[in-house]
């Protein structure tokens, strides 16, 4: 492969600048605080800091907590904060606030919805998932089968074999819409229809969907869903996760984690558990007001945003990155589908030295991440990324590879978090 000629480079740059100039989302970049000298392609792992969040959190901490103290539960509306945040997330995932609740981690929410779904199919014993699913989903499903005993089991298939693996023994299918490693995307609506055709229920993990592109849970007929607050939703490290229950199941769901916040009357302090009406029963304990406040503030960055435009720009950024990287770095193997409908909002490449390459790239100002065994992952977040950022990232990646900047011992030493 030949080196890009100078005039070609100039054309590429002019094209990226023109795309930025015409970008209908360009004004939204000011809604975020981005560090100087960094191109951030990891918003799919930890979203960036929304602008003004620090000041608003100072108010929550010093005025609401510091001055209102316990009165804040009523005066500052803390007790209703989960519902307010749920309303904002519901709008992003294609449902109403009455079907979403916010709190706990995604892992715990997997347990909550899986156990709830199994109780709706008492005559079936199989949980079906994808072998390539994010491990915590599989670990929690496995743990639940061991807890339940009675012949419950977790079966695994892959995207290619998933449809045929759904049979009349399957109670619940637990799938992540977008594969965290490859970016490959399931057709949620078609797969849900297929699952229902076999009498099973569908749980969708939206960790790499919510805030990344339009999601239509109600229209897709999903039964349950879960998703992360700290990835595309920018809620901050370890932000509370969300959970969805389709309206038609709300009154039949029996929560396994029957905590007092999901009780019909928590402050009646009765001995017996009586689930709250509707989605409220999926709450467990006291809501984490500080982290929920941060997520609540962060979600304002989506106010007025047309998610269809986000999707369109995300695909343009993915296309641009793929074209530039394939042209400049032929030793990297694309693992993300080229077809727009078949992928989420990330681009991944494979290389045996992927870990060291990513460390060198980060040292040179481009932050992506590495996923074992050999995947370099780049998340596309259209609200704050520019076409010129994508071009610059590809140029730096090319330099890291051509000059073998990654070939140093220090870049091979794995950190605790990759
Ligand atoms: C990020 C992610 C999780 C994370 O779960 P936590 O409980 O927040 O650690 C779970 N599932 C998928 C598919 C993810 O991508």
Count other Cβ atoms within 10 Å, centred on residue 331. Answer: 12
Compute the distance from residue 231 Cα to the ligand 1 centre, in Å: 9
46-49 contacts at long range (C-beta below 8 A, 24 or more positions apart)? 46/230, 46/231, 46/237, 47/211, 47/230, 47/231, 47/232, 47/233, 47/234, 47/235, 47/236, 47/298, 47/381, 48/234, 48/381, 48/384, 49/234, 49/236
pLDDT at 5: 61
Which of the residues 377, 384, 386, 411 is marked catalytic?
A: 377
pLDDT at 386: 98
- DSSP-assigned beta bridge partners for residue 101: 243
For residue 107 and ligand 1, the question of a CB distance below 6 A is answered with yes
Compute the distance from residue 267 Cα to the ligand 1 centre, in Å: 32
Residues 6+ positions from 268 with CB-CB distance below 8 Å: none
Does pLDDT of 3 surpass 60?
no
Mean pLDDT of the chain: 97
Count other Cβ atoms within 10 Å, centred on residue 137. Answer: 23
Across 145-246, the runs of DSSP E, i.e. the strands, are 153-157, 170-176, 201-205, 224-227, 242-245
- DSSP-assigned beta bridge partners for residue 127: 154, 172
Do the bridges between strand 100-102 and strand 39-40 make them parallel or antiparallel, or are there none, so unpaired? unpaired
Helix pair angle (354-363, 387-402), 10° resolution: 120
Backbone CA torsion sign across 277, 281, 286, 289: negative
Which of the residues 31, 88, 124, 231 is marked catalytic?
A: 231
Residue from 270, 321, 236, 264 nearest 16 by CA: 321
For residue 132 and ligand 1, the question of a CB distance below 6 A is answered with no
pLDDT band of residue 1 (cuts 50, 70, 90) is very low
Residue from 12, 21, 34, 10 nearest 390 by CA: 12
Does pLDDT of 2 surpass 80?
no
- Give the DSSP per-residue string, 238-282: T---EEEE-GGGTTT---SS--GGGBS-GGG--SS--BPSGGGGG
What totals of helices (H) and strands (E) does the chain contain, helices first?
A: 14, 15
**3-state DSSP call for residue 126?**
strand
For residue 174 and ligand 1, the question of a CB distance below 6 A is answered with no
For residue 228 and ligand 1, the question of a CB distance below 6 A is answered with yes
For residue 180 and ligand 1, the question of a CB distance below 6 A is answered with yes
Count other Cβ atoms within 10 Å, centred on residue 281. Answer: 25
Which of the residues 32, 40, 134, 213 is marked catalytic?
A: 134
Compute the distance from residue 228 Cα to the ligand 1 centre, in Å: 6
Ligand 1 nearest-atom number relative to CA 105: 7
Count other Cβ atoms within 10 Å, centred on residue 220. Answer: 20
Backbone dihedral angles phi then psi of residue 114, each to the nearest 5 degrees = -65, -45
Q: Is 252 a catalytic residue?
A: no
Compute the distance from residue 23 Cα to the ligand 1 centre, in Å: 31
Ligand 1 nearest-atom number relative to CA 137: 11
pLDDT digits (tens, 9 = 90+) for 277-332: 999 999 999 999 999 999 999 999 999 999 999 999 999 999 999 999 999 999 99
Please state the rounded mean pLDDT for residues 384-400: 98
For residue 207 and ligand 1, the question of a CB distance below 6 A is answered with yes
Residue 379, sorted as left (phi over 0), alpha (psi -120 to 50) or beta, turns out to be beta
| High-pLDDT (> 70) share of the chain, % | 99
Which of the residues 179, 205, 223, 369 is marked catalytic?
A: 205
Question: What's the Cα-to-Cα distance from 343 to each of 211, 311, 335, 340, 362, rounded to whole Å?
Answer: 15, 11, 11, 6, 25
Three state DSSP letters for 305-317: CCHHHHHHHHHHH
Note the helical H segments in 149-231. 162-165, 188-197, 217-220
Answer for the pair 220, 189: CB distance below 8 angstroms, yes or no.
yes
pLDDT digits (tens, 9 = 90+) for 122-150: 999 999 999 999 999 999 999 999 999 99
Ligand 1 nearest-atom number relative to CA 45: 1
pLDDT digits (tens, 9 = 90+) for 18-57: 999 999 999 999 999 999 999 999 999 999 999 999 999 9
Does pLDDT of 243 surpass 90?
yes
pLDDT band of residue 417 (cuts 50, 70, 90) is confident
pLDDT at 157: 98
- DSSP-assigned beta bridge partners for residue 39: 366
Q: Is 273 a catalytic residue?
A: no
Answer for the pair 9, 391: CB distance below 8 angstroms, yes or no.
no
- DSSP-assigned beta bridge partners for residue 381: none
Q: Is 230 a catalytic residue?
A: yes
Task: Record the tokens describing residue 153, joined without a space.
Answer: 């089991």
């Amino acid at each position: 492969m030949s080196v890009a000629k100078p005039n070609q480079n100039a054309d590429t740059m002019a094209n990226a600048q023109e795309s930025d100039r015409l970008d209908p989302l360009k004004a939204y970049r000011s809604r975020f605080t981005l560090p100087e000298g960094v191109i951030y392609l990891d918003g799919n792992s930890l979203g960036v800091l929304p602008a003004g969040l620090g000041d608003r959190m100072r108010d929550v901490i010093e005025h609401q907590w510091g001055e209102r103290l316990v009165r804040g539960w009523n005066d500052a509306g803390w007790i209703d904060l989960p519902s307010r945040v749920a309303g904002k997330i519901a709008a992003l995932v294609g449902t109403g606030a009455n079907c979403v609740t916010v709190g706990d981690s995604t892992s715990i929410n997997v347990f909550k919805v899986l156990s709830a779904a199994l109780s709706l199919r008492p005559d079936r014993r199989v949980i079906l998932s994808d072998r390539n699913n994010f491990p915590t989903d599989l670990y929690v499903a496995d743990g639940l089968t061991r807890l339940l005993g009675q012949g419950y089991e977790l079966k695994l298939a892959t995207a290619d074999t998933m449809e045929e693996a759904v049979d009349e023994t399957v109670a619940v299918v637990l799938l992540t819409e977008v594969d965290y490693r490859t970016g490959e995307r399931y057709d949620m609506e078609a797969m849900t229809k297929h699952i229902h055709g076999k009498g099973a229920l569908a749980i969708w993990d939206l960790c790499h969907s919510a805030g990344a592109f339009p999601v239509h849970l109600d229209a897709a007929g999903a039964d349950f869903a879960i998703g992360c607050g700290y990835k595309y939703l920018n809620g901050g490290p370890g932000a509370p996760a969300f959970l969805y229950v389709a309206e038609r199941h709300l009154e039949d769901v029996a929560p396994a984690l029957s905590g007092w916040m999901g009780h019909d009357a928590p402050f009646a302090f009765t001995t017996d558990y009586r689930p709250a009406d509707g989605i409220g029963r999926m709450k467990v304990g006291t809501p984490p007001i500080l982290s929920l406040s941060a997520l609540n503030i962060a979600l304002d960055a989506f106010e007025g945003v047309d998610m269809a435009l986000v999707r369109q720009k995300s695909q343009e950024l993915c296309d641009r990155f793929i074209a530039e990287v394939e042209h400049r770095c032929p030793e990297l193997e694309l693992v993300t589908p080229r077809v727009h409908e078949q992928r989420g909002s990330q681009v991944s490449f494979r290389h045996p030295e992927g870990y060291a390459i990513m460390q060198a790239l980060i040292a040179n100002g481009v932050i992506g991440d590495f996923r074992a065994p050999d995947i370099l992952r780049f998340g596309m977040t259209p609200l704050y990324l520019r076409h010129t950022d994508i071009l610059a990232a590809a140029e730096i990646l090319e330099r890291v590879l051509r000059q073998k900047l990654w070939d140093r011992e220090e870049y091979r030493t794995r950190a605790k978090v990759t």
